[in-house]
Structure formats: structure tokens, C-alpha cells
A = this chain, B = another copy of it.
Amino acid sequence: MENNCGNSRIAGCSFSVHPMADDFVDYIKASLREVDSSKVWMKTDDVTTTVRGRMEHVFDVTEAILLHIAKTGVHVAFQGTFSIGCPGDSSGDVHMDESEERLNKPQSKNIEQRVAAKFSLYPMGGGDYMDTIYRQIQAMKEKGVEVTPAHYSTRLDGDTSDIFTGLEDVFRETEASGSSHTVMTVTVSANSPSHKDDRS
């Protein structure tokens, strides 16, 4: 919970994914079989799953886990807290040596899946981040993501790949702007009964 904690640049995400179905376990297991998580440290307990490693692989793996469930058409919610700059431990440090090539993106980018997402950015360690946020939100709009203000967050509607790319860009540039500890919360809903055409 410290706001300034040294130079470690390992990124992480504590997340949970909730298929709203009686056989939720099967959806999760099937997704995990399709996702290559060999470039991240990953640990699951009964409340959340934590992945840690290079930033690009943390986003690559979380996006892929969500997509492989969503592509089945089941209503699924994802909630993740991305964090960098304040690990508090060293689990997964060895994965910082991995190459930057993403293992799941080649497959993920072929899955068209509209989602509704909300994100909030908490730069705990200073930095000039407001311009960063506005610039990245503009970039998302140019990719066709719909951006609207929401309570305590910003809402994004669009293709999963565009949204995850945008979120990673916001997160990366906030850190680059000088925030020593950055936290970003993301909530995603796919195939909600309220959405009629998430699957294209």
C-alpha cells in the first residue's frame, strides 16, 4: 500500500472472470487450455487469479482468457486490477527476461467480440498523467471505440482488441509520464442479455 517503492517494473494483474452459467468451471478450464501463459507467472486461488510479468504479456494473457470464454457466446464478466511499480514481492520476476513477442495476440486478434468496459486510472505516484489520459482516449476514439463518462470511471464500447490495446497504452504511458505506482481497474461485460449483437 506504499505509494513509492523503488525501481521494480514488473507489471501485474489481479483479476477474476465470471461466466454466468451453471457450468462456469468448464468455460474457465476450456479457456485456460487455449491460452499460452508461459511468459507470465500465474497463480489462481478461490477469489482471484494473479498474473505477473512484462506489461505486454500481462495484457496479452488477460485479454485472451476473457476472449476464449466470450467467443462461446456465454455472458461473462471480467474484473481486473492492473498494477505496476509497487509489487511488494518478487513472484514472477524471472519472467522479466521473456522476449516481447506476444503469444496469444495472433489468435486473439481474429476473435471479433464487442464488449462494454469501464476503467479507472489511479496514478498513485505523481506524474503528469491527465494529458496522457486525454491523448489515449482520443486514440481509442479514432479506432472506433465509443467513449463516455461514467460514475467513477470511463466507459468504453467497442471491439475487445481495440479496447485492450487502448487500456495497455493508457497504462504504459501513465507510467512513462512519471507515476511511480500506477493502478488501473477494469470491468468488462461481454454477451450481456442487454447487448443484442456482441458477437459479430
Contact = CB atoms under 8 A, between A and B. Distances in A.
Interface of A: 1, 12, 14, 16, 18-22, 24-25, 43, 45-48, 50, 52, 75, 77, 79, 81, 83, 88-89, 91, 116-118, 120-122, 124, 129-130, 133, 150-153, 155, 183, 185, 187-189, 192-195
B14 A151 contact: yes
A1 B133 contact: yes
Select the residue from A50, A77, A83, A88 with max chain B CB neighbours within 10 A.
A77
A16 to B, nearest CB: 6
B14 A153 contact: yes
Contacts of A151: 12, 14, 43, 50, 52, 88-89, 91
Contacts of A22: 20-22
Given A14-B151, A14-B152, A152-B88, A122 B47 contact: no
